[in-house]
Structure 1
């Protein structure tokens, strides 16, 4: 049995990692358990955006949009290496929303959140402005506005890393089994899924941040119940070759009033999504359907001169959004806001987290700790709004200037590889590179920007335990390696693990 913890956090997605980080930074003793890899569920399968949620204005979600817009700039300052501004072009379709309504929404979007760093909206003449070049000629008017890009899975990993550096224990591949209250203390059983070994953890409070599995966890807690429900909605994305020039993204309105993002991705690719489909299967079994693929292709082909075909879809992924069930029938209308359910029985609190989105994770975590404050009167104050995530302490948030300094420190490093390292690890790149003095010291080259030194760094510092952890979540190398290169890396990884055992 472990020493007494203040907080046991269940779930290693963005909300669980964010709560563990916030709590540890306040001086609480924290353990976070995740049954799979960090961000293996919903938190690595998002649209990769830190955004206010322009379309949520249509459902009068003003509080959520305002909070998300404020958080957009907080997060941009905290992790400028993995979060950066992006301009979105919205071609106007008169058959869908009227122009005045779109313009009003964009005006509110510009002003609700006290925008400071990002440029505002401008109107485009798609016949003349270069952003209109790939758009069908029948669309003559458009708008351009700002939001931010994020590497979602790395955002989770960096929160877990920061939690650990503030004293938290992070256990991946460790399942929550059950819990019961005993004399005002939680006795929770957890299991290492690799070995099957179980142990009992004592904690003063539990936080259930299991995302799509939130109700399953409640069912495994003796005496726990909740009147709240989670609505599972499947969102799918496809990845195709990038088919336009420029760094801007596009947002198009579909006939069903949904909006589809077409974003530049990994240099030469496009990330297109998302769908919104009610889902009642097991979250771990989610997969894209051919109907979803066609739906996304049709949305793109309605607006762009270059028509995409099924053969252009190189990759796809699906995630299950655990939305708080507010009773709305239309999946697109279900709130993206978060709701807490606090069970204070026996002075041993259980905090269940319903809903939430990537953009508001930090605020959600802060509100969660505020909910638990009466049980921990000596815990520290709110702190994350002014803090950097690991690697994000880049002077003035200027990654370009940081890249110049990196070139001076490691003059042998190829420019494109230095840029990749700066964008992925920020100032932590110095931990990865260490005392290396030439390219050969990075070890085996697996392909693209992927060298052995990076794999070893991720295994030592970021809980990477499988080749997939590295190729799919800690990095996106899996999109750039050939099948032969990916297989070679998997063999190298397995051999390394065998030797370590």
Structure 2
């Protein structure tokens, strides 16, 4: 097994192997374009089958939709209303697999309350649906992963969620799902794929798909966005999983067919945990979307919206009306209204909504109500749709489709039994001893366990080598300095924005996107990457400009104006618009 470390050096080695693949007889088995949750899952699935695999991502790992979700792993209650029992069962089975075997350190149980407004018929109707949800979850082999639901009276509800407006519900039903740090999950998935032999290169954009003399896609031309150099790569199979960029990726092959995807924006706000008294999350039906109030460590995450987005796909942003909508919907059930001053962070993500049919009648396989796999050109497989919870199923389907039924039967997907880095049996063993060694309180130990699992020992090694790394950041004390170093030495962070937004979530957890912590973070990153003072200044200015642009965008009242404001700071190593 290969090392699971992602570093600037491992990225360079991956690019070297990609370049070697252009030599006759040295081609890769599979090239995966797109490093979100599905692309990372495809890389692990493919490499786990023994296929030589490379995965590239134009931005940072998970920088698009996969780091801007509602952070939930769930079965999808709404599909029960559509009587799609098979889809719900599949998602619940995946939820429980991630909770118990694949990533118990990253996926955590969380209770939710479904408030009831009517005493009799609604309790019976909703109760039957949630009971069915639990029954479907129990059909999976093995011990139940989560508790059964329970009915709460008005007085029970006031104890579990004191800050729910007494007039908003006559009671509730409590059920269980799970939450996840989506960005960390993606990075850990990539690391696991690398451990199985995959080659991984972030900040590497496909600018052309190449074809052989018979018109079969046989590779790509890549641009290293860190240096600008072009790399030609050859592969027997090319699989594209680029979410809202699906149509642009297909077009790189010079084809007009393929899948059709529209982008829908969903925004979330973050408020301090003490601002709302409650021990469970809320799920609320609104006129236009489902609103979640999700307990998240020291905070509440509240969202989401569902509106068309036709602006820049790289940097979607909340506008003032989005934020007002979320606040109003939350305040409709809270006893103590939230105000804009309570918000310490926001983000916006784009859902890739798969449209019916394919462009120009491309051959495809509608494997699931949620996702489709297509081949707009021989040698090219494209997958779109789906959701975070079922990424493993999507990855399996994409690889099966690409290599064909016969090869898939010989090399079946192994990912039901592959624990992600830091998981596996005994993933939490020894954490308390490590905590005592460095004087960390229980909250810090829990924080580290559910970010690194068994790899908390790696954090301890960094701290033993440099005692200063065992200290919390002065202006973001939930994080140790060692976590910043680890983001670079093990998790492939190349820029400050990678650390601030995805290896940690401090950009959403501290005011002004944690600008106060930026100088200390920059010093730790600079020490690990050998940055010059000029490089530190450039990275710091780029991050600060992006923070200011996001704040400016949030004051605008429509998407077009917000996108113009956000475009003032495109960021480091921006994606290329032209080949």
Q: How many residues align?
A: 483
CA contact (8 A) 1:176 1:188 kept: yes
Aligned twin of 1:193: 225
Residues 10, 34 of structure 1: 8 Å contact kept: yes
Take 2:148 and 2:337, find their aligned partners in 1: how far apart are those partners?
31
> CA distance change for structure 1 residues 470 and 30 in 2, over 3 Å: closer, same or farther?
same
**Partner deviation per Cα, 1:93-119 (whole Å, 9 max, x = no partner):** 349x94333222212211223261211
Q: 1:235 aligns with which of 266, 270, 276?
A: 266
Distance 1:46 1:417 in 2: 25
> Which residue of the partner structure matches residue 284 of structure 2?
252
How far the C-alpha of 1:141 sits from its partner, in A, is 1.6
Separation of aligned partners in 2, 1:164 and 1:145: 36
* Structure 2 gap ranges (5+): 1-18, 22-26, 358-367, 536-579
- Of 38, 53, 62 in structure 2, the residue corresponding to residue 39 of structure 1 is 62
Question: Partner residue of 1:142?
Answer: 172
What's the TM-score once normalised by structure 1's chain length? Answer: 0.90
* Pair 1:295-2:313 in alignment: no
Match of 2:245 in 1: 213
For the residue of structure 2 that corresponds to 1:66, the secondary structure is helix
Counterpart pick for 1:172 among 182, 188, 202: 202
Q: Is the 8 A contact 2:250 2:376 kept in 1?
A: no
**Aligned mate of 1:128, from 156, 175, 184:** 156
**In structure 2, what is the equivalent of residue 415 of structure 1?**
442
Given that 1:41 and 1:284 are in contact with CA atoms closer than 8 Å, whether structure 2 keeps it comes out as yes
2:477 maps to 1:470: no
State which drifts further: 429-438 or 414-423: 429-438
Q: Once superposed, what is the RMSD of the aligned Cα atoms?
A: 2.5
CA distance in 1 between partners of 2:341 and 2:395 (Å): 42
**Whole-angstrom distance in 1 between the partners of 2:29 and 2:419:** 24
- Residue 338 of structure 1 is aligned with which of 371, 388, 402? 371
Does the residue aligned with 1:305 lie in a helix, a strand or coil? coil
Alignment of 1:271-310 (within 5 A): 271-310=301-340
* TM-score for both structures, normalised by structure 2: 0.78
- Contact 1:180–1:222 (CA under 8 A) maintained in structure 2: no
CA distance in 2, matches of 1:423, 1:443: 17
CA distance 1:488–1:436, shift in 2 (3 Å): closer
- The match for 1:55 is 78
Q: Is the 8 A contact 2:396 2:413 kept in 1?
A: yes
CA displacement, residues 133-191 of structure 1 (integer Å, 9 cap, x when unaligned): 22222221211001001110011001100111111110100000111221556131001
Correspondence for 2:384 among 349, 354, 376: 354
Between the aligned partners of 1:343 and 1:373, the Cα distance in structure 2 is: 15
Q: Distance in 2 between matches of 1:109 and 1:444?
A: 44
| Aligned match of 1:84 | 108
Aligned: 1:151 with 2:188 = no
| C-alpha distance in 2 between matches for 1:438 and 1:232 | 46
* Cα pair distance change 1:257/1:126, threshold 3 Å: farther
Aligned to 1:332: none
Counterpart in the other structure of 2:41: 18
Query: Does structure 1 residue 2 correspond to structure 2 residue 20?
Result: yes
Alignment partner, residue 389 of structure 1: 420
> In structure 2, what is the Cα distance between the partners aligned to 1:402 and 1:304?
41
Contact 1:89 1:248 in 2 (8 A): yes
Instruction: Give yes or no for the alignment of 1:181 onto 2:181.
Output: no
SS at match of 1:127: helix
Mapped partners of 2:122, 2:316: distance in 1: 36
